[in-house]
């Protein structure tokens, strides 16, 4: 199992690890404020470099739309937008599509330029040329790269924090009800916490015992090696 903080190695790059810039369709549509066409300037920081993003979005009454995107990094130390930053930048079009909601109205989606899937977010990882879906870029979320023990450990830390306590390990006492928290809310959070502890504690104890056994075995090997070395060279060696 290793260290609880070790995580899985290899596999897909993560959204966070790739320093991805993110476009959210809900943000784009809100900025249009009911207009059928809108020019939007956005900016973001990626690995210390400021990017400027130009979006020209059109939404049709037939549920079809499009977004022309262009982006460029700026060498300006003040980080301010200058039109010349876009000289030589290549633009591209992202199709948009609306789907009806169960309770009326409609919800807009991006259509990934590469695979055509509906998505609410597009990503631009470090080194990429276009905003595309997470699947098209082969990205995973960091939460998908941790094992069940790490996930449970993180949930426990969040629950202890909600109850005003500090989480150290599964034997940390459950915090008493914080001042101002309703009894019902406290009871629900405490029940959730105790359920997580019931699942996690025996597994954590088994993991801790395994780690201790490994340390003991390593120390025993070290003592035997030093004993052989001492006898070979006539030294006095006594492990502390």
Supply the pLDDT for residue 1: 39
Backbone angles phi, psi at 114, to 5 degrees: -95, -50
Output the tens digit of pLDDT for each of the chain's 240 residues: 344 554 445 556 777 667 788 899 999 998 887 778 887 878 777 767 778 888 889 998 888 999 998 887 776 656 666 666 677 677 899 999 999 988 888 999 999 999 999 999 999 888 888 999 988 988 877 666 667 787 888 889 999 999 999 998 888 999 999 999 999 999 999 999 999 999 988 988 888 888 888 888 888 888 888 878 777 777 765 655
CB within 8 Å of 110: residues ≥ 6 apart = 23, 25, 67, 94, 95, 96, 118, 119, 120, 121, 122, 133
DSSP label at residue 194: H
Q: Are 122 and 136 in contact (CB under 8 A)?
A: no
With beta carbons less than 8 A apart as the criterion, state whether 63 and 98 touch. yes
Gap between the terminal Cα atoms of the chain: 29
The full set of domain ranges for the chain reads 13-140, 147-240
């Amino acid at each position: 199992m290793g260290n609880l903080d070790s995580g899985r190695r290899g596999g897909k790059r993560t959204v966070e690890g790739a320093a991805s810039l993110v476009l959210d369709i809900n943000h784009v549509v809100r900025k249009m404020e009911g207009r059928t066409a809108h020019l939007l300037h956005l900016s973001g920081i990626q690995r210390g470099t400021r990017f400027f993003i130009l979006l020209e979005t059109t939404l049709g009454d037939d549920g079809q739309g499009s977004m022309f995107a262009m982006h460029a990094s700026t060498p300006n130390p003040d980080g301010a937008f200058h039109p010349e930053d876009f000289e030589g930048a290549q633009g591209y079009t992202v199709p948009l599509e609306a789907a009806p909601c169960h309770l009326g109205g409609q919800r807009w989606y991006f259509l990934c330029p590469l695979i055509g899937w509906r998505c609410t977010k597009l990503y631009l990882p470090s080194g990429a040329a276009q905003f595309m879906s997470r699947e098209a870029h082969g990205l995973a979320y960091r939460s998908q790269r941790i094992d069940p023990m790490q996930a449970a450990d993180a949930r426990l830390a969040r629950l202890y924090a909600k109850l005003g306590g500090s989480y150290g390990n599964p034997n940390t006492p459950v915090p008493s009800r914080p001042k101002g928290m309703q009894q019902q809310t406290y009871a629900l959070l405490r029940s959730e916490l105790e359920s997580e502890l019931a699942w996690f504690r025996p597994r954590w104890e088994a993991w801790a015992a395994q780690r201790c056994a490994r340390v003991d075995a390593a120390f025993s090997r070290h003592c035997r090696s030093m004993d052989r070395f001492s006898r070979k060279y006539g030294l006095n060696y006594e492990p502390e």
